[in-house]
Amino acid sequence: VNKVNKLYYVIPKKKNMYIFLTRRGLRGRNILSVAAAPFVVEKDIKINGFDVVSVPLFFPKLFNINLIKLKSVLKDLFGLILLKDIDFLFRNELKSGVFLKENKEEIPASCQAICLFSGGVDSYCGILQARERDPEVVGLFCAHSDQSKIISTVEQFSDGILTKRRIRLVKLSVPEIKAIGYSQMRGFLYFVSAAAWMDLLNAKKLIITEVGPTMYQPRFAYFDSVTLTAHPYVLRCAQKAIELLLGRKIELILPYENMTKAEIISICPDKHWLKKTLSCISQRFGKHDGTCYACVMRRLAFTAAGIEDVEYIRDPIVDPKANNANLIALLRYNQSYLMNYKEMRFFQIENIEMFKKYDLFRRFALDNITAIYKLIMSNQRVIKPVANIYKEVSKKLGTDIFEHRLEELQKGHIAPNFDLPFSF
């Protein structure tokens, strides 16, 4: 006997969500329901075992959605990312209904492209660069109501630099994150939710500013936040789901797919606001703890690029008392990559081999060791394990390689790709 998890989707009673209660937002309402389903299910899949998920749709017949294909996309997503065999079915939630009256001035004019914005480093650089290429680009922020620090950070950006650069930002309310920490289905939630606005604005491109090494990071690494948020499998499932729900083809643009974080911030058009971006996984307090994987990656990238950074509560590079598990795991990984790639285990390089990202991960490894080189050259004391990694790498490769890397970063030698859509 199959155990069915019956989901409900209720439009949050918020001004920014009003449009999805009108006739014009009906397709978007269906899109939001499908986008939220995997995210909501992932949260209680471990607690309540079930094999079938029932997803609500509203007047689905009006849109001629191929539900058989949509179901197989969701099944694939769970198989590929969570390694779970879950079946999906769709039910017609509303047979008759009343739509609220449309409020015309709420909707911006049509545009070509929507760019996801989260208040993080990459999406901040991404939205500015997208705007330089396309003056009509609309930013989209997916707000979890229980992440008030991020919401207020994004509001500061919206009222500040984004207004100054005449970038429009719309906000979608998505389900709460609660205490789950991280979720593999977050990417799917954001990408597919964005299609609700792609429908309203008739947009054909969705710009996702994920940084390359995070996209392709090893599935089973030692870092504390290995998420497959924008893994190519997730992107492929999201694109298929969006096209089925919109009933038309779209393009995913991943401008930073072949760039490292240090390369991205090196070419950021307005570096001053980088200090206001949030990266830490403990975002509840709006501060940077300095020890989580996201903080470590950020700190090393800013150091290598020579750009003023946020303040960190702890500094595991110099403080022997700070938790350095993520820092050391990352540097050891980078060291192996530069010194003995052939001896690395399959799970460490699976994605690099499959998607041919050798050079991207070489530059990523170099950025991080170059950051340590810079600190040591400026007479900064670093903890012993970090000093040892640096000694072993520089003994084998010399130090010219770090100087050369610093020059490359200064020059901004890698350009983002806003033109060619992502393909698999």
- Alpha-carbon distances of 166 from 131, 137, 159, 221, 244, rounded to whole Å: 9, 10, 10, 41, 32
259 and 414 Cβ atoms separated by less than 8 Å: yes
Nearer to Zn ion by Cβ, of 91 and 284: the residue is: 284
405 and 393 Cβ atoms separated by less than 8 Å: no
Stretches 278-286, 328-336, 352-360, 393-401: which one binds Zn ion (CB under 5 A)? 278-286
Stretches 163-171, 181-189, 291-299, 384-392: which one binds Zn ion (CB under 5 A)? 291-299
280 binds Zn ion (CB under 5 A): yes
Among residues 199, 263, 289, 367, the one that binds Zn ion under rule CB under 5 A: 289
The single residue listed with the structure tokens 């993080």 is 120
Nearer to Zn ion by Cβ, of 131 and 299: the residue is: 299
Output the six-digit token pair for 15: 């001004």
Q: How far apart are CA 311 and CA 297, in angstroms?
A: 14
360 and 263 Cβ atoms separated by less than 8 Å: no
Count of CB atoms situated within 10 Å of the CB of 267:
18
**Cβ of residue 330: shortest distance to Zn ion, in angstroms?**
13
292 binds Zn ion (CB under 5 A): yes
Phi (first) and psi of residue 48, to 5 degrees:
-110, 105
315 binds Zn ion (CB under 5 A): no
278 binds Zn ion (CB under 5 A): no
Shortest CA distance to 187 belongs to which of 80, 285, 269, 295?
80
Q: How far apart are CA 207 and CA 202, in angstroms?
A: 14
Stretches 246-254, 282-290, 302-310, 316-324: which one binds Zn ion (CB under 5 A)? 282-290
Nearer to Zn ion by Cβ, of 210 and 289: the residue is: 289
166 and 211 Cβ atoms separated by less than 8 Å: no
Q: How far apart are CA 176 and CA 189, in angstroms?
A: 12
Site for Zn ion in 46-65 (CB under 5 A): none
Cα first-last separation, the chain: 37
Output the six-digit token pair for 101: 């009256």
**Cβ of residue 222: shortest distance to Zn ion, in angstroms?**
16
**Cβ of residue 281: shortest distance to Zn ion, in angstroms?**
5
Nearer to Zn ion by Cβ, of 295 and 414: the residue is: 295
Query: What residues contact residue 270 under an 8 Å CB cut-off, 6+ apart?
Result: 128, 161, 165
114 binds Zn ion (CB under 5 A): no
Nearer to Zn ion by Cβ, of 193 and 326: the residue is: 326
418 and 253 Cβ atoms separated by less than 8 Å: yes
Stretches 79-87, 191-199, 290-298, 412-420: which one binds Zn ion (CB under 5 A)? 290-298
Nearer to Zn ion by Cβ, of 85 and 308: the residue is: 308
**Cβ of residue 80: shortest distance to Zn ion, in angstroms?**
28
Nearer to Zn ion by Cβ, of 193 and 368: the residue is: 368
**Cβ of residue 381: shortest distance to Zn ion, in angstroms?**
22
DSSP class of 115:
E
Among residues 150, 194, 295, 360, the one that binds Zn ion under rule CB under 5 A: 295
Stretches 35-43, 202-210, 275-283, 409-417: which one binds Zn ion (CB under 5 A)? 275-283
Shortest CA distance to 277 belongs to which of 409, 145, 123, 137?
123
Stretches 104-112, 161-169, 272-280, 369-377: which one binds Zn ion (CB under 5 A)? 272-280
DSSP class of 162:
I
HSE-CB of 391 using CA atoms within 13 angstroms: 7
Nearer to Zn ion by Cβ, of 257 and 289: the residue is: 289
Shortest CA distance to 5 belongs to which of 85, 69, 68, 87?
87
**Cβ of residue 116: shortest distance to Zn ion, in angstroms?**
21
Nearer to Zn ion by Cβ, of 170 and 295: the residue is: 295
Count of CB atoms situated within 10 Å of the CB of 40:
20
Q: Total binding residues for Zn ion by CB under 5 A? A: 4
Stretches 24-32, 226-234, 293-301, 384-392: which one binds Zn ion (CB under 5 A)? 293-301
**Cβ of residue 290: shortest distance to Zn ion, in angstroms?**
6
Query: Given the rule CB under 5 A, which residues bind Zn ion?
Result: 280, 289, 292, 295
